[in-house]
Amino acid sequence: MTNDRRVLVHPDAASLAASVAARFVTKVIDLLDESETVNVCLTGGSTGIAVLAAIAATPARDSVDWSRVEFWWGDERYVPRGDADRNDRQAREALLDHIPVPAENVHPFPAPGEHASIDAAADAYAAELGDTVFDITFLGVGPDGHVASLFPDHPTVGETERTVVAETNSPKPPPERLSLTLPVLNASERVWLVLAGSDKAGALGLALADANVASVPVAGVKGRKRTVFFVDQDAAAEVPESLLDRSKYWTSEDE
């Protein structure tokens, strides 16, 4: 199946989160009709966590057989387990603690002290991940165009051999992070990017214009079947109309 890149513009951040949550529940139910297990890769950030909270808030969540859903993360701040800055803690508080997902189905990144080094921690997560392919991968996008913890002009953006890398000089605190690489993210069946706010407008425009991937990592994100940008009006405000052309970026209900 060909990869379609699409843009769905919502009035504001709240309606964006609610819409993505509804689509996610529907899509997971559909996928579970076809497969025994569904693998979902989660993201952090305010919009990503808002989507998870919206999933928890919808009564439709109870229609999902969560015992057959596996949760992973695209990246993590390398801080102690349980730290408020960790994406996995925020995801648990927003969604995972509110659904009957077995503990063994949740795959958080390692924390300091659990392995000899951050590189060893990256290797351990890579081993746990194995050849897992994500059915749905959520990604946030930074104002600088970074995705996961793959930052502009850092060598990790161009990594093609490893599935998990250690970032030790993040331009955003904390400096140490773990991240999946672009080849793993792009092996996902569907990539759903969620962006809200005027500070994301530049990154969105560059992504749609196929900017240099090394400088704008989000420009290199392409799911195998779907790549969907879920954005609010503020994030889309500075994108040229030609880049939101419906004939090129078809806004379908089917993600």
The full DSSP string for 70-138 is EEEESEEE-S-TT-TT-HHHHHHHHTGGGS---GGGB-PPP-TTSSSSHHHHHHHHHHHHTT---SEEE
Q: Residue 242's pLDDT is what? A: 63
Hey, is 15 helix, strand or coil? helix
Confidence check: pLDDT of 60 > 90: yes
For 138-187, the pLDDT digits (tens) are: 999 999 999 999 999 999 999 999 999 999 999 999 999 999 999 999 99
Confidence check: pLDDT of 250 > 80: no
Which residue shows structure tokens 């500075």?
A: 238
Q: Which of 133, 146, 220, 108 is closest to 184 using CA atoms?
A: 133
Backbone φ and ψ of 185, nearest 5°? -60, -40
Instruction: Please give the residue that has the higher pLDDT: either 215 or 246.
Output: 215
Question: How would residue 5 be classed by pLDDT, with cut points 50, 70 and 90?
Answer: confident
For 204-241, the pLDDT digits (tens) are: 999 988 899 999 999 999 999 999 999 999 999 877 67
Q: How far is CA 43 from CA 49, 71, 79, 233, in A?
A: 8, 11, 16, 21
Instruction: Please give the residue that has the higher pLDDT: either 6 or 224.
Output: 224
The CATH code of the domain that includes 139 is: 3.40.50.1360
- Identify whether 236 is part of a domain: no
Specify the pTM.
Answer: 0.93
- Which helix (H) or strand (E) segment holds residue 195: the answer is strand 190-195
- Identify whether 219 is part of a domain: yes
Q: Which of 36, 114, 110, 45 is closest to 70 using CA atoms?
A: 36
- Identify whether 253 is part of a domain: no
Q: Which of 25, 29, 97 is closest to 55 using CA atoms?
A: 25
Q: Residue 248's pLDDT is what? A: 44
Number of separate domains in the chain: 1
What is the average pLDDT score of the chain?
Answer: 93
Question: How would residue 6 be classed by pLDDT, with cut points 50, 70 and 90?
Answer: confident
For 176-192, the pLDDT digits (tens) are: 999 999 999 999 999 99
- Identify whether 241 is part of a domain: no
CB 185 within 8 A of CB 74: yes
- Identify whether 212 is part of a domain: yes
- Identify whether 215 is part of a domain: yes
- Identify whether 123 is part of a domain: yes
Helices (H) and strands (E) counted in the chain, each on its own, are 7, 9
Domain that holds residue 156: 4-227
- Identify whether 255 is part of a domain: no
